[in-house]
Amino acid sequence: MEKIAKQKLNVIVLVDCSKSMQGERIAQVNRALREIKTHLIEMQGENANVDFYVSVITFSTAAYFLNGERCKGVEDFDFKDIKGGGWSNLHLAYEKLGELLKKESKGGIMPDFGGVAPIVLLMTDGHPTKYPLTEEMAALKKLPWFRVALKYGIAIELNDERTKKVLREFVDGNGDVVDCYDAKLLERIIKIIVLTASKLKSTATSVQAGNTIVQQTQMQVQQALQVVEDWEW
């Protein structure tokens, strides 16, 4: 079938699956990711700009690519439930993320030319085992793909200022840190962020004078989050 050449839009999700995530929280994450797959496949057929590629990094004592796959086209992405248990070694996840955010010709997953800034979502419910993460963060910030990425951090039932600071550093103004006060809403929050950002970035809706896509995304995510309890997709 003849079709238009599309760009790659990478959606990268970093999931904390330390011991404290076990049970309800990780179940919410699993449900969210499964549904996201369905929605992204649908969205892929409805936009002429991008194809979605998904990467999931899980981190506890060690960091892994889910299924051992670094990146898959959303249609070929086979999801296996994530299990919880172990430490919260965020710095190892940063290393894995750094591996991805390089050009294909340099061993990463980003296209050699004409890529689209990826969407990166990091969620955690507790402070990282190693702290501070100064060097790891500095290493990431050296990567252009990291700098342009639209980044969201979700703090799950977390009142720990130190971890929130870690998330804010990670996002660095290009995205947002979102509080999830009630783990029951986690699934919805993940979906809101990934799907709103994906939709906006894929359909690149009409530009209103004076608004960039990033601003529009931030606005829409905020709007959706305000009514998170009623939100349906």
Partner 1 sequence: MRFRKNDTITIDEKERLVVEDFLGDGGQGEVYLVSRGGEKYALKVYKNEESADFRYNLKNNIDRGAPSEAFLWPKALLDFDDGKIGYLMDLRPKNYASFVSYLTGKNKFRSKQVLLRWCIELCTAFKRLHELGYSYQDLNDGSFFFDPDTGDLLICDNDNVTADKKNLGILGKMRYMAPEIVRGEQMPDMHSDRFSLAVILFMALCLGNPYEGERLKEYDIIDEDAEYEIFGEKPVFVYHKTDRSNRPIRGYHTSVLRRWAYIPLYVKEAFHRTFVDGLQDRENERTTELEWLKVLTKYRDELIACPYCGHEYIVGFSEKKKYDVCPLCGKETKKFCTLHIGRNAVVLDLGKKLYKNHVDKYSARYNQAVGIVVANKNNPALWGIKLMLPEGVEIKDGENNVKMVTGSGVVPIVSNLKIKFNENIIGEIR
Q: CB 199 → partner 1: shortest distance, Å?
A: 8
Which residues of this chain interact with partner 1, rule CB under 8 A? Answer: 1-7, 44-49, 103, 110, 112-117, 144-145, 148, 200, 203-209, 212-213, 220, 223, 227, 230-232
Length of the chain: 233
Whichever of 67 and 211 has its CB closer to partner 1, that residue is 211
* Nearer to partner 1 (CB atom), residue 79 or residue 231: 231
CB of 1 to partner 1, least distance (A): 4
Minimum gap (Å) between residue 179 Cβ and partner 1:
22
Closest CB to partner 1 among 7 and 67?
7
Read off the tokens for 200. Answer: 């906006």
Closest approach, Cβ 221 to partner 1, in A, equals 13
**Are the C-beta atoms of 90 and 131 separated by less than 8 Å?**
no
Q: Give the nearer residue to partner 1 in terms of CB position, either 76 or 230.
A: 230
- Shortest approach of partner 1 to residue 219 CB, angstroms? 10
Q: How far apart are CA 212 and CA 218, in angstroms?
A: 10
Our CB check for partner 1 shows the closer of 39 and 130 to be: 39
**Burial of 214: CB neighbours in 10 Å, binned 0-12, 13-18, 19+:** middle
Angle at 156 between CA 188 and CA 58, to 5 degrees: 85
Q: What is the DSSP string of 139-195?
A: HHHT-HHHHHSEEEEEEES---HHHHHHHHHHHTTSEEEEEESSGGGHHHHHHHHHH
Report the first-to-last Cα separation within the chain, whole angstroms.
30
